[in-house]
Chains A and B, each alone.
Chain A
Amino acid sequence: MEPRSDETIGVLVVDDHEVVRRGLLEFLGSEPDIDVVGQAAGGAQALELLATMESEGRRPDVIVMDLQMTPVDGIESTRQIRALYGDMKVVALTSFAEEERVHAALQAGAAGYVLKDSDADDVAAAVRAAHRGEVQIDALVARRLMSSIRHPAEAEHRVSELTSRELDVLRLVAAGKPNKQIAAELAISERTARTHVSRILRKLRLSSRTQAALWAVREGLVEVEREPR
């Protein structure tokens, strides 16, 4: 395989339905800025492939992951991949019937969520957003996730633990800004921005930027634009 140019996003497609993989391959491959570098029919196969790719120096940037697979489901696969390759972004592809598992995928560290009945362009948009360190979440899923964050009293208590600088960072995270952009806007180094984010996550007892973003929206810290769906 040709080494990719720096501008294109390398994507690995993981789905146990061949028909879906083929569709994603064709569609994502036709996007000028996306390069499908591999496909796998399951979590185990994906990990094997990633190890090979890693050794060959052509690791993907974003993994499009079906959540409902056997024997290892997409949530567990996401957790494993995120543990091994922390810089890779995972966009979860979910079907209508498995929305209750999206929350678990979020805990596992997935960065984007697309329903399998979205527009094709939404899939590409989610891949790009994940690559930029942003979050793109299906509107229906987002609504449900927010409703499932519980114990508002406890959360209120926790928000007071955040410093005003951390609140600024959180607002930018919630706006879907990557660390680089946060750093630029607040005139701090990218490393400092990253430190702020991880401290926020620890204080709020959350496990991903996505959760933090949702939490901030729910707490009214930011106005969120409704997604056009």
Chain B
Amino acid sequence: MSTQVAPPAVRRTLTNTASRGVRLPSLRYAAGVLALAAAYYGAAKVGQTLRYTASVSAIWPPAGLGIAALYLWGLRWWPGVLLGELVVNAHLLVDDSIPLGSLLGQQTGNMAEIIVGALLLRRLIGPNAAMDRVEQLGPMLLALGVATAISATFGTISMLAGGVVDASDATTFWRTWWLGDTSGGLVVLPLMLAWAQHPIAAWRRVSTWEGAAVIAGVAALSFAVFSTDEPVRYAVFPALIWAAFRLGPPGATLSIAITAGVAIGVTAHEGGLFSEQPIDHRTLITQVYIWVAALTTLFLSAVVCERERSARELSEARRTEGGRAVEARRRIARDLHDSVSQALFSTVLHARTAQKALVQDGGDPSGPVGRALATIADLTRSVQGEIRALIYELHREPVHDGLVAALTRHSFDLGAPDGLTIKVRGPESRLPLSQQVETQLFAIGREALANVVRHAEATVAHVRVEAQREQVIVEIRDNGRGFDPRNGHPGHFGLESMRSRAVEVGGRVTIASAPGWGTVVRVRVPAEADGT
């Protein structure tokens, strides 16, 4: 039976493998090419709303789109660009009767622009650039500038040869072409680079209340300033700078695209289609506006990004350093415990043995030998105490079984003076905090309790630990004599050390006190999802 069934199954598998090996990828590839062509064509349509004579537009987004696509996903997608460009040119051939030769020249130039642009970009800034570093921006501008110069030169020569533009207009024509391609590129290329790497993270960064407010602000201000003849375009910049500061490259590039889109839309609407019109003042102004807005916002967001990154790296380095310090302290504590403490204990035993032997042999315990032995015993005991305190500081990871347990234990150890009761209350379950944060919180709690014992003359101290959804609160409250916080705090209160410990773990300390009213020390730290 099985021998009869097996062959068809094998054959089917082989067929499937063959079809999957050849057909499916090519299908996906074809779909990708078509999608790219469609996007390219759409971008061209947007550009053509601000079209000047022939095929030159005040802003030409397809150039940036093509460069970004080939840079991000590889040169093999070039047919998509070619196809999109062909459809655009076919329209120009039919609708605007631009000579075929000129269009072929222009098409060659545009293809060269996109391939050279993508290659240069790869060469200059490597793969996966997300416009989050200042050093990516210069090379990006260079690649864009060179690539678009190729296209502008090919285009101008082609149109001159086809008699579409006059030789006298050639310089302005080239300039408009080049500015159009670069300003389009400055909008689309960074937008795609900033969003393509991590679209979900980018979306998260922008899709907040603040993000919505910033984007709405950019759009509204852009509408306002482009709908008036007053020279107030710079009024958009605060919103753009806001975006750069708070939303990172994804929000910054989106804001640039929005303000550029509004600028083009409003200008085109008011001036009508620009075809057959001389390149006027407003075209140039729009181009320069997009340039300046894009450059300012891009540089600023890259700088902010770098600052955020170095802050992260710094705190990471601090954490590593802290971990290393803890490790070193533990090693020292272990060594102290293994050698010094044991020897001291042994010394105590030997000293006692000697004292007893002295008495047994009829010696005088208050004589010179007896006194010396007593001194040895006393000194050893006091060194033992010091070493124990040292090891306590060095060795203990006090929060190994949780902050609440550590605080409870500590309040027992504190050996609180008569008349002071310390009550510790808090969840027994794990707090949403890393051990490092718990250690700092414990240190703050210890400091606060030490203050209560030393200065407060309180009868009751309450330690409360509360885990909320987004933060953890530790509160140390006493009913002691309090102090006036306005009078500055004496150094021995350790308040500064509490503050700096809290800051180190991203938290905040508030101290409320008044003479006769006790003291409340409250620490809040943000909860961490992945406490380890």
Q: Using a CB–CB distance below 8 Å, which chain A residues touch chain B?
A: 17, 19-20, 22-24, 26-27, 30, 95-97, 100, 116-117, 119-121, 123, 143-144, 147
CA distance A85 to B356 in the complex (A): 33
- Chain A residues contacting B395 (CB-CB under 8 Å) are 97
Question: Could you tell me the distance in whole angstroms from the C-beta of B374 to the nearest C-beta in chain A?
Answer: 13
> Is A20's CB under 8 angstroms from B342's CB?
yes
Known contacts being A97-B333, A117-B388, is A23 close to B350, with CB within 8 Å? yes
Selected from B352, B408, B412, the residue in CB contact (under 8 A) with A27 is: B352
> Is A123's CB under 8 angstroms from B349's CB?
yes
- Closest CB pairs A-B (n = 10): A23-B346, A23-B349, A120-B352, A27-B349, A17-B342, A19-B346, A117-B384, A116-B345, A27-B353, A26-B353
> Is A117's CB under 8 angstroms from B396's CB?
no
> Is B350's CB under 8 angstroms from A27's CB?
yes
Selected from A19, A30, A147, the residue in CB contact (under 8 A) with B357 is: A30
Question: Could you tell me the distance in whole angstroms from the C-beta of B251 to the nearest C-beta in chain A?
Answer: 51
Question: Could you tell me the distance in whole angstroms from the C-beta of A108 to the nearest C-beta in chain B?
Answer: 20
Interface residues of B in 333-351 (CB under 8 A from A): 333, 337-338, 341-351
- Chain A residues contacting B356 (CB-CB under 8 Å) are 30
> Is B391's CB under 8 angstroms from A96's CB?
yes
- Chain A residues contacting B392 (CB-CB under 8 Å) are 96-97
Most-contacted residue by chain B among A20, A22, A95, A97 (CB, 10 A): A97
Most-contacted residue by chain B among A24, A30, A96, A121 (CB, 10 A): A96
Question: Could you tell me the distance in whole angstroms from the C-beta of B448 to the nearest C-beta in chain A?
Answer: 21
Question: Could you tell me the distance in whole angstroms from the C-beta of A191 to the nearest C-beta in chain B?
Answer: 39
Known contacts being A95-B337, A97-B391, A147-B412, is A116 close to B342, with CB within 8 Å? yes
Known contacts being A30-B357, A120-B352, A144-B409, is A23 close to B347, with CB within 8 Å? yes
Question: Could you tell me the distance in whole angstroms from the C-beta of A59 to the nearest C-beta in chain B?
Answer: 24
Question: Could you tell me the distance in whole angstroms from the C-beta of A41 to the nearest C-beta in chain B?
Answer: 13
CA distance A144 to B391 in the complex (A): 19
> Is A120's CB under 8 angstroms from B349's CB?
yes
Q: Main SS of chain A's interface residues?
A: helix
6 further interface pairs, Cβ-Cβ under 8 Å (given A117-B384, A143-B412): A17-B346, A20-B342, A26-B353, A96-B391, A96-B392, A147-B408
Interface residues of B in 391-411 (CB under 8 A from A): 391-392, 395-396, 401, 408-409
CA distance A100 to B357 in the complex (A): 37
CA distance A100 to B409 in the complex (A): 10
- Chain B residues contacting A116 (CB-CB under 8 Å) are 341-342, 345
Interface membership of B74, Cβ < 8 A: no
> Is A144's CB under 8 angstroms from B341's CB?
no
Interface membership of B427, Cβ < 8 A: no
Question: Could you tell me the distance in whole angstroms from the C-beta of B478 to the nearest C-beta in chain A?
Answer: 21
Question: Could you tell me the distance in whole angstroms from the C-beta of A31 to the nearest C-beta in chain B?
Answer: 8
- Chain A residues contacting B401 (CB-CB under 8 Å) are 100
Interface membership of B385, Cβ < 8 A: yes
Known contacts being A19-B342, A116-B342, A117-B345, is A30 close to B385, with CB within 8 Å? no
- Chain B residues contacting A26 (CB-CB under 8 Å) are 349-350, 353
Complex: chain A residue closest to B360, CB-CB = A30
- Chain A residues contacting B341 (CB-CB under 8 Å) are 95-96, 116-117
> Is B412's CB under 8 angstroms from A22's CB?
no
Question: Could you tell me the distance in whole angstroms from the C-beta of A25 to the nearest C-beta in chain B?
Answer: 9
> Is B352's CB under 8 angstroms from A121's CB?
yes
Selected from B357, B381, B388, the residue in CB contact (under 8 A) with A96 is: B388
Selected from B338, B347, B349, B388, the residue in CB contact (under 8 A) with A24 is: B349
CA distance A95 to B333 in the complex (A): 12
Question: Could you tell me the distance in whole angstroms from the C-beta of A147 to the nearest C-beta in chain B?
Answer: 6
CA distance A144 to B413 in the complex (A): 8
CA distance A147 to B381 in the complex (A): 27
> Is B345's CB under 8 angstroms from A20's CB?
yes
> Is B349's CB under 8 angstroms from A97's CB?
no
CA distance A19 to B348 in the complex (A): 11
- Chain A residues contacting B348 (CB-CB under 8 Å) are 23, 117, 119-120
- Chain A residues contacting B353 (CB-CB under 8 Å) are 23, 26-27, 30, 120
- Chain B residues contacting A20 (CB-CB under 8 Å) are 342, 345-346, 349
Complex: chain B residue closest to A22, CB-CB = B346
Question: Could you tell me the distance in whole angstroms from the C-beta of B411 to the nearest C-beta in chain A?
Answer: 10
Write 21 A-B pairs (CB below 8 A) sorted by A numbering. Answer: A20-B345, A20-B346, A22-B346, A23-B347, A23-B348, A23-B353, A26-B350, A27-B349, A27-B350, A27-B352, A27-B353, A30-B357, A95-B337, A96-B388, A97-B396, A100-B401, A117-B384, A117-B388, A120-B353, A144-B409, A144-B412
CA distance A97 to B349 in the complex (A): 20
Complex: chain B residue closest to A68, CB-CB = B337
- Chain B residues contacting A119 (CB-CB under 8 Å) are 348, 352
Question: Could you tell me the distance in whole angstroms from the C-beta of B93 to the nearest C-beta in chain A?
Answer: 86
CA distance A20 to B339 in the complex (A): 10
CA distance A27 to B353 in the complex (A): 5
